[in-house]
Amino acid sequence: MSTQMVEVDPRGMDGPVGEIPGCKPARALRLADKVLGAVSEVPAALLVVAEVGVLFSGVLSRYVLRTPLVWVDELASLLFIWLIMLGSAVAFRRGSHMRMTALVDKAGPQWRGVFELVATVAALTWLALVAGAAYEFASEEAFVTMPALDISNAWRAAALPVGIALILLMSVVRLLSTASRRAALVALVACGAVVGVLVGLQPVLQGLGNANLVVFFVGIVGLLVFAGVPIAFSFGLATFGYLSLTTSTPTIVVIGRMDEGMSHLILLAVPLFVFLGVLIEMTSMARAMVQFLANLLGHIRGGLSYVLIGAMYLVSGISGAKAADMAAVAPALFPEMKKRGADDGDMVALLAATGAQTETVPPSLVLITIGSVTGISIADLFTAGLLPGVVLALMLGLVVWWRARKAGAPCNARASRTMVGKSLLVALPALALPFVIRAAVVEGVATATEVSTIGIVYAIVVGLLVYRKFDVRQIWPALVDTAALSGAILLIIGTATGMAWSLTQSGFSGDLAAAMAKLPGGAAAFIAVSIVAFVLLGSVLEGIPAIVLFGPLLFPIARQLGIHDVHYSMIVVLAMGIGLFAPPFGVGYYAACAISRIRPSEGVRHVWRYMASLIAGTVVVAAVPWISTGFLPH
């Protein structure tokens, strides 16, 4: 999954309202911030619990009681859109919406404050522009009835205007609390001037035709993203501007496309797998797996590096979220690696590389996203994703072997068979979970959405009865964190869907298909260009928004060239993973550094050899389709 590291700064986009020297927020603003936080966090956390209960009851009623509950999907969908919008509000208040901070981080304190002000005003502008359209959309949905629940669809659609209104209020509170009146007024006037200039240029823009795609979706999106504006709001502003200034499309379409993009029920797996990852760490299941692998391989030269590769593969098969994977493995393994003389930079470089290596290991959130936007079977993607991860693990293993041999790393004492056996017995319940999840999907016990609830229940039972580690006090913060991360991810999917629809309606997709289909070299050239393109996209946009934007455009071309959908999916995901975890722009790399508490500069000189091996592994996967499709049902 996509990851993001953001330093918390109470003066800007990166956190709730705080104290500022010389500009202390008024008591009313602090109170408003707390009220908005409670109004969004409490129901968002409860909605995560409700979704687990609703979906798990659906599995029990259908598979155990043989009496399906026909209203489960509708109720889950209704609750889901509310979870997305309230979670987005929580993420906005916390400053955890995904954004590119490479330039912001390099700026001095004064310019950083300017960037943060720009980000706040940009978000406020988009929210103000779409608020009316969101209300209109919800009003029209009042005439639609949900067949199973027999209630108006307005109960569901109302989440959009309510969520937008909440975030709009939060942005106003933040602006008033974190900037002087003069600065806030200047920022708002400047923003109004930019909007006014664009409106004045409307006749010129309408005459540019498809050149507007470059203006809005390259120029404006690029400026906003590199200025530190959250990706979701950057996409939303560009799409709204393009549709309202260069076409006759009603702006309510923007909200309709957002709703469509976020409403795929398969995406409900995102918050549930994120929550499952938290449970895995809390119950010490990840620690048990790491300990077993350390006892099994720790005596080999460079053995704990192999353990890191293997542990990330196993944990990735449980949580589906890269931040959760790294947070589960690194604290359990790095202290022992340091004792055995491992270099800090090499450890964090390998951790980042394993994050990219395991992007295809189910239940990857990127695979779930691909399935939702392309219609490819999630079960097929889950089945296909295992072997490519093994291929890349072997490539990383070769680098570890070569480095350990060259450096003359010492061998450590071999753990006794008794110790290995005991650690295996302790780890077995944890090791079984990835196989339980996969078997439940493949055997039809649960859908790819529902299977996460089986994993959650399994983790709770194992944590209570086997590992006897289940801190109830951590549950509430975990639920709120889950809602915030899910809202941040899914709002990007919503706004990216609107952008992708605009690109399609403009005819750009047809032109792109024609150009890509005419590449000399046919399918091989198309795959090579796709790898390069998605490495770049992964570093700038991260995996999920990139696949939502370009998946609907490129997958039909791949199909036309005779490339298997699942094979192409594996290539795309691996390429995006490399971009996501490769410095200087890959935010996954900085997340690995933050989790490891190691400075980014220490890992840069080591990470390239690992990234080169991952690129080589991706080429092998691309050249041998059987690696991706060999185990698919025929």
Residues 270 and 194 in one domain: no
In the three-class reduction of DSSP (H, G, I as helix; E, B as strand; rest coil), residue 434 is classed as helix
> pLDDT-derived band of residue 201, with 50, 70 and 90 as boundaries?
confident
Q: How does the average pLDDT of the chain come out, rounded?
A: 82
Q: For 453-483, what is each residue's pLDDT tens digit?
A: 888 888 888 888 888 888 888 889 989 988 9
- pLDDT reported for residue 589: 81
Strand residue runs (E) in 452-562? none
Say if residue 257 is in the same domain as residue 299. Answer: no
Work out the average pLDDT over 295-305: 76
Q: SS3 for 338?
A: helix
Instruction: Decide if pLDDT at 9 tops 70.
Output: no
Res 542: pLDDT: 59
My answer on whether 434 and 296 are in the same domain is: yes
| Residue pLDDT, tens place only, 362-392 | 877 788 888 888 888 888 898 899 999 999 9
User: What is the C-alpha separation between 459 and 437, in angstroms, rounded?
Assistant: 11
Q: Which pLDDT does position 509 carry in this prediction? A: 61
Q: Residue 2 domain-assigned? A: no
**Does the pLDDT at position 193 exceed 60?**
yes
On the question of a cis peptide bond just before residue 363, with omega within 30 degrees of 0, the verdict is: yes
pLDDT digits (tens, 9 = 90+) for 311-343: 888 777 565 567 667 776 777 778 777 877 778
pTM: 0.76
pLDDT tens digit sequence for 484-527: 988 887 888 788 778 878 877 777 766 766 777 777 878 888 89
| Cα gap 239→611, rounded to integer Å | 34
3-state SS assignment for residue 242? helix
Q: What was the pLDDT predicted at 21?
A: 45
Q: Is residue 561 part of a domain?
A: yes
Please give the residue that has the higher pLDDT: either 397 or 267: 397
pLDDT-derived band at 203, boundaries 50, 70, 90:
confident
Better-predicted residue by pLDDT, 30 or 11: 30
Do the strands 151-152 and 145-146 form a parallel or antiparallel pair, or are they unpaired? antiparallel
- pLDDT, residue 12, reads 41
Confirm if 589 and 581 have CB atoms less than 8 A apart: yes
Mean pLDDT of the 18-37 span = 71
Report, as an integer, the average pLDDT of 264-274.
77
417 and 513 co-located in one domain: no
Assigned token pair, 18? 């705080």
Lowest model confidence (mean pLDDT) among 119-128, 241-250, 503-512, 618-627: 503-512
159 and 292 part of one domain: no
Question: Is 271 in the same domain as 256?
Answer: no
pLDDT for the residue numbered 625: 94
The more confidently predicted of residues 190 and 219 is 219
Confidence of residue 92 (pLDDT cuts 50, 70, 90): very high
Q: What share of the chain in percent tops pLDDT 70?
A: 88
210 Cβ contact list (under 8 Å, min separation 6): 506, 507, 508, 511
What is residue 339's predicted lDDT score, i.e. its pLDDT? 75
Domain count of the chain? Answer: 3
Domain C-terminal end among 239, 263, 287: 263
- Residue 269, pLDDT > 80, answer no
Question: What would the mean pLDDT of 62-89 be, rounded to a whole number?
Answer: 88
Q: Is the dihedral of CA 562, 563, 566, 572 positive or negative?
A: negative
Q: Are residues 432 and 540 in the same domain?
A: no
267-276, 298-307, 564-573, 584-593: range with highest mean pLDDT? 564-573
User: Residue 391 carries which side chain, given as an amino acid letter?
Assistant: V
Between CA 381 and CA 599 the distance in angstroms is 36
Considering the domain architecture, whether residues 516 and 445 belong to the same structural domain is answered as no
Both 191 and 275 in one domain: the answer is no
Could you tell me the pLDDT band of residue 4, with boundaries at 50, 70 and 90?
Answer: very low
| 145 located within any domain | yes
Q: Give yes or no for residue 13 having a pLDDT over 60.
A: no
Query: Is residue 242 a part of any domain in this protein?
Result: yes
Work out the pLDDT band at 7, boundaries 50, 70, 90: very low
pLDDT band at 541 (very low <50, low <70, confident <90, very high): low
pLDDT at 629 over 70: yes
Instruction: Give the amino acid at 526.
Output: F
The per-residue pLDDT for range 130-160, each reduced to its tens digit, is 999 999 999 998 888 888 888 998 999 999 9
If we measure between CA atoms, which residue out of 211, 252, 243 comes closest to residue 505? 243
Same domain, 388 and 255: no
Owning domain of residue 614: 496-629
Region 20-28: mean pLDDT is 59
Ranges of H-type helices in 408-447:
417-442
* pLDDT confidence band for 528 (50 / 70 / 90): very high
pLDDT tens track for 411-443: 667 778 888 888 888 889 888 887 787 777 767
Bridge-partner residues for 145, per DSSP?
Answer: 152
Q: For 190-234, give the secondary structure using H, E and C.
A: HHHHHHHHHHHCHHHHHCCCCHHHHHHHHHHHHHHHHCCCCHHHH
pLDDT of amino acid 444: 72
Give the burial class of 630: count Cβ atoms within 10 A of its Cβ; 0-12 exposed, 13-18 middle, 19 or more buried: exposed
Average pLDDT over residues 614-624: 95
Domain boundary among 208, 242, 263: 263
Domain final position from 455, 480, 505 = 480
In a domain, 542, yes or no: yes
In order, the DSSP letters of 427-488 are: HHHHHHHHHHHHHHHHTTSS-TTTHHHHHHHHHHHHHHHTS----GGGHHHHHHHHHHHHHH
Q: Is residue 56 part of a domain?
A: yes
Domain presence at residue 394? yes
Specify whether 429 is located in the same domain as 539. no
Structure-token pair, residue 465: 């009865």
Which of these, 340, 355, 296, lies nearest to 1 by C-alpha position?
355
586 falls within a domain: yes
d(CA 523, CA 559): 10
502 shares a domain with 436: no
Give DSSP secondary structure letters for 121-181: HHHHHHHHHHHHHHHHHHHHHTT-EETTTTEETHHHHTHHHHHHHHHHHHHHHHHHHHS-H
Say what the pLDDT of residue 10 is. 33
What is the longest distance spanned by two Cα atoms in the chain? Answer: 79
Phi-psi region of 6 (alpha: psi -120 to 50; beta: other; left: phi over 0): beta
